[in-house]
Amino acid sequence: MLRRLVGATVIALTCLTTVLLPAAPALAGWKTSGTGPARAQAVVIPQAAAPTAVKANPAPDYNPVYTVTWASTEHSGGRGVIGYQIRRTQWQGSGLVITSGTCTGTTVNGMPNVFVPSNPEAATQSCTDRDAYNSGTVSYTVVPVMGRWTGAASAASPAYS
């Protein structure tokens, strides 16, 4: 009689286990969803810092060689921009494109004369201008570039002669 009772209990537990075990994954499977807006924001390219320049002395060639240096520009996402456009102001005018030296740069994403530094995250960047005139003074401005985005041009460097 006792054995039958034990057997019946085992059977009852077996049945309950059989029934209840699959219930857990069934409960975990309730599906739900929701639709609405999610947002992302684009960075902003700030104004570049004003550059400085050093004239090579003695000049290695007929034209003077200026090495232009400026603090790297970081966009509002905290990374360095990928390039810069360097412009010269001399007696011929302002915003002149540099046509000789590393400041000349290349065309990047349709943007002409972009100087692309080897390390955009470096604290400072520099390039050379090899086609400034000997007469008068020269000064420089720098425009930060990110793709086709540009920041405001820097203030002009001091004038050099």
Partner 1 sequence: MKLGKRTSVIALFLAVLVGGGVAAAAWLVSGTGTVTTQAATSTSLTVTGGTSSASLYPGASTAVVANVTNPNPFPVRLTGATFGAVTVTPLAGKTCAAGNVTVSGPVTLASPVNLAAGSSATPVTIANALTMVSTAADGCQGATFTVQVTLNGESA
Which residues of this chain interact with partner 1, rule CB under 8 A? 4, 7-8, 11, 14-15, 18-19, 22-23, 26-45, 75-77, 109-110, 146-150
- Residue closer to partner 1 (CB basis): 43 or 116: 43
Which helix (H) or strand (E) covers residue 11, if one does? Answer: helix 2-20
Beta carbon of residue 20, minimum distance to partner 1 (angstroms, whole number): 9
Residues 36-60 as b/e (b if ≥16 CB within 10 A, e otherwise) read eeeeeeeeebeebebbbbeeeeeee
- Residue closer to partner 1 (CB basis): 44 or 54: 44
Beta carbon of residue 79, minimum distance to partner 1 (angstroms, whole number): 8
- Residue closer to partner 1 (CB basis): 46 or 102: 46
Q: Which tokens go with 64?
A: 């003077």
Beta carbon of residue 117, minimum distance to partner 1 (angstroms, whole number): 17
CB 144 within 8 A of CB 150: yes
Beta carbon of residue 15, minimum distance to partner 1 (angstroms, whole number): 5
- Residue closer to partner 1 (CB basis): 42 or 57: 42
φ/ψ bin of 35: left (φ > 0), alpha (ψ from -120 to 50), beta (otherwise): beta
Q: Which of 45, 67, 46 is nearest to 146 (CA)?
A: 45
